[in-house]
Amino acid sequence: MSHFRIFDPRNGSCYLIGSVRGVFRSLFYRFIGLFLLPIFVCATEPTIQKENARSFCIETFELLSKKFQQMDLSQAVGHRGLLANDVRLPLSPEAQMAAFANGINYLGVRIKIVASKAAAFEHDAAIANPLLKSFYVIGDPDLKNLSPEIFSRLSKKGIFWIDEKILKWVSDEDVKNLFQIKKLEVSEFSNDDTSRPPWKGLYLPGWLSPIQQGITDYEDLVSTSLRKRARSLLRDGYTVTFNKAFEQSLKEIAKAKRPSGGASRYDEEYIAQLKSLFDLGLAWSAEVWSPSHQLVSAEVGYRVGNIFKADSVFGEYAKMASLALVDRLHDSGVNFSISGQVTKYSRRMHAKYVSRDEFLSRLESNRQIKTQVDLNAPWIWQEEKNLKKFRRPGDKRVF
C-alpha cells in the first residue's frame, strides 16, 4: 500500500495518510477547513517512505525559514525581544526549528503590574539575568480582579521596560500589534535569587529575538577542572556516545526532579515532538554510560545543520556529556553551541551572554561551514587520547 504526505500550510505540519481513501477524505475536510488554501500532496512507496517524508518536511522547513528571514530583528522589543504574535506563523515543530535557525524562538515575555515607576526600577534592579526581566504597566499590583478589559485600560497608559537603568516606553503601535490581550495569562515567575519568593505577573507568548543570547564557547573550556574530572571518569570506565539512547534519555529527563519542584515540560506531547525531530535529523543526544553499561546521564537538544542548542540534561555526570559535545563540534569546525538562558547548570559549563548582533554573526559563521557535523560517525575523544598523560586523580567528587 502506498503512503501519502500532506503539508498543511495553516500550521506548517506534515501528516502521514495510510490509504488512497484516507487521502481523499483528508483532502476534502482540509479543503473546507482551509477555505481553498492550497495543500500539497506527495506519494511515497513504503520502502522509501521515511526518506521522502524527511525530504518533504525539510522543504517545509525551508519554506518557513524564508518567512523568519524576512523579519527585522532590530525591531524586537524588550530584553526578550518580542517580535511577533502573527497568527499566520505556525507553531509546528518544523516552524519552531526554522525560527531557531534564524535566531528566533517561540517563548514568551513577562509583564508585571507595579504601583509606580519607582517600584518597577526596584524590581528590575533585583534581576540580573537579562532573559528574566519584565515589561511593566502601572496599576493595582493585585491580580485577583484582573481581566482583559482592565489590562487594556492599563496598557493604554503605556507599557515600558528598563534597559541599563533607563526607562523605555513601548510605542503605541507595538502595544497594539504585539500585546494581544486574548493571549495573556496569569503566571508565577521565579527570581535569580532563589531566596526571594516568586512573583505573580502576566505571561504573553510570542516569537522572540532576545537582545542577548547564551552560548557555550569552546575557547572558554580549553583548560578547566571539568576536563580533569572527565579524564578521571574515562579512566574509571565511563564512556560517551551520541544518538544511541535518545528516547531513553528523554524518559529519564522527564522523570528527573526539577529544582523548582514543578512539573516537567517533558510531557508525552513534548517527547513525541522531540522524537519526530530526531527522526528528521533535527535533534540529538549525548549519553554517558557507566562501566557496567548503564545510562547514567545525558544531554539532549536541537540542531539545524551546524547550529546546535542544548535543551535539557539529567544525571550527575551530565557535564561530561556536555563537554564531549562541545569537543565533538569543535573537531568539526563548530566552536559554539546555544544555551539560550544562562542557568545555574550552563554557568558551570562556562556559558555566557553575547549581544544579538554577535550571536547572529556566529550563526552565520556556522551556516558557512560546508561539512555538517555527523554525530553518528566514528569519533575518538581527545580526552581519551590524553589519559596516559595524567595520573589517576584521588578525589571522589561527582562530575
Q: What is the CATH number of the domain that holds 312?
A: 3.40.630.70
Distance (Å, rounded) from C-alpha 244 to C-alpha 177? Answer: 45
Mean pLDDT on 168-175? 93
How confident is the model over 324-340, as pLDDT tens digits? 999 999 999 999 999 98
Distance (Å, rounded) from C-alpha 172 to C-alpha 169? Answer: 9
123-132, 176-185, 288-297: least confidently modelled range: 176-185
* One-letter identity of residue 342: V
Quick count: other Cβ atoms within 10 Å of Cβ 360? 16
- Shared domain for 30 and 108, answered yes or no, is no
Please give the residue that has the higher pLDDT: either 22 or 269.
269
User: Is the per-residue pLDDT at 23 higher than 60?
Assistant: no
- Shared domain for 254 and 369, answered yes or no, is yes
Please give the residue that has the higher pLDDT: either 134 or 42.
134
- Shared domain for 34 and 45, answered yes or no, is yes
Band (pLDDT 50/70/90 cuts) for residue 99 is: confident
Band (pLDDT 50/70/90 cuts) for residue 344 is: confident
Kindly give the interhelix angle for 93-100 and 49-69, rounded to the nearest 10 degrees: 50
- Shared domain for 257 and 324, answered yes or no, is yes
DSSP-H helix ranges across the chain: 20-33, 49-69, 93-100, 117-125, 148-155, 172-178, 225-235, 246-255, 268-279, 318-331, 344-348, 356-368, 382-385
Distance (Å, rounded) from C-alpha 120 to C-alpha 165? Answer: 10
- Shared domain for 275 and 163, answered yes or no, is no
88-102, 111-125, 160-174, 333-347: least confidently modelled range: 88-102
Contacts 24+ apart (CB under 8 A), 21-27: none
Distance (Å, rounded) from C-alpha 267 to C-alpha 214? Answer: 25
User: Is the per-residue pLDDT at 196 higher than 60?
Assistant: yes
- Shared domain for 309 and 345, answered yes or no, is yes
Out of 189, 210, 231, a domain closes at: 210
Band (pLDDT 50/70/90 cuts) for residue 90 is: low
Mean pLDDT on 303-322? 94
**C-alpha cell of residue 338:** 546555544
User: Is the per-residue pLDDT at 175 higher than 70?
Assistant: yes
- Shared domain for 301 and 323, answered yes or no, is yes
- Shared domain for 89 and 138, answered yes or no, is yes
Q: Specify the residue for cell string 515600558.
A: 160
Mean pLDDT on 192-213? 84
Average confidence score pLDDT of the chain = 80
Whether residue 234 lies inside any domain: the answer is: yes
Please give the residue that has the higher pLDDT: either 284 or 85.
284
Structurally, how many domains does the chain consist of? 3
Q: What is the pLDDT of residue 387?
A: 67
Mention every residue, 6+ apart, whose C-beta is less than 8 A from residue 17. 3, 4, 5, 6, 23, 26
User: Is the per-residue pLDDT at 108 higher than 70?
Assistant: yes
Please give the residue that has the higher pLDDT: either 280 or 214.
214
Whether residue 111 lies inside any domain: the answer is: yes
- Shared domain for 50 and 106, answered yes or no, is no
User: Is the per-residue pLDDT at 193 higher than 50?
Assistant: yes
Q: What share of the chain is helix, strand, coil (3-state, %, to 5)?
A: 40, 25, 35
User: Is the per-residue pLDDT at 102 higher than 60?
Assistant: yes
Whether residue 399 lies inside any domain: the answer is: no
Q: What is the pLDDT of residue 276?
A: 87
Give yes or no for a contact between 14 and 40, defined as CB atoms under 8 angstroms apart.
no
DSSP structural state of residue 397: -
Q: Specify the residue for cell string 562530575.
A: 399
**C-alpha cell of residue 215:** 552560548
Whether residue 308 lies inside any domain: the answer is: yes
- Shared domain for 176 and 130, answered yes or no, is yes
Mean pLDDT on 285-314? 95
Band (pLDDT 50/70/90 cuts) for residue 257 is: confident
For the chain, what is the total number of helices (H) and then of strands (E)? 13, 17
How confident is the model over 43-88, as pLDDT tens digits? 334 444 455 555 556 666 677 778 788 888 888 999 999 988 765 5
Whether residue 65 lies inside any domain: the answer is: yes
Q: What is the pLDDT of residue 294?
A: 97
User: Is the per-residue pLDDT at 259 higher than 80?
Assistant: no
Give me Rg for the CA atoms of the chain. Answer: 23
Out of 194, 210, 226, a domain closes at: 210
Give yes or no for a contact between 46 and 123, defined as CB atoms under 8 angstroms apart.
no
Please give the residue that has the higher pLDDT: either 54 or 106.
106
Whether residue 396 lies inside any domain: the answer is: no
In which domain, by residue range, is 25 found?
Answer: 3-71
- Shared domain for 232 and 371, answered yes or no, is yes
Out of 164, 191, 210, a domain closes at: 210
Mean pLDDT on 360-378? 93
Q: What is the pLDDT of residue 91?
A: 66
- Shared domain for 204 and 267, answered yes or no, is no
Distance (Å, rounded) from C-alpha 317 to C-alpha 295? Answer: 10
Q: What is the pLDDT of residue 55?
A: 58
Cross-strand pairs, 213: 354
Mean pLDDT on 218-238? 90
Quick count: other Cβ atoms within 10 Å of Cβ 166? 7
Distance (Å, rounded) from C-alpha 266 to C-alpha 193? Answer: 25
Q: What is the pLDDT of residue 316?
A: 92
Q: What is the pLDDT of residue 36?
A: 34
How confident is the model over 374-386, as pLDDT tens digits? 999 999 898 877 7
User: Is the per-residue pLDDT at 122 higher than 90?
Assistant: yes
Whether residue 159 lies inside any domain: the answer is: yes
Whether residue 398 lies inside any domain: the answer is: no
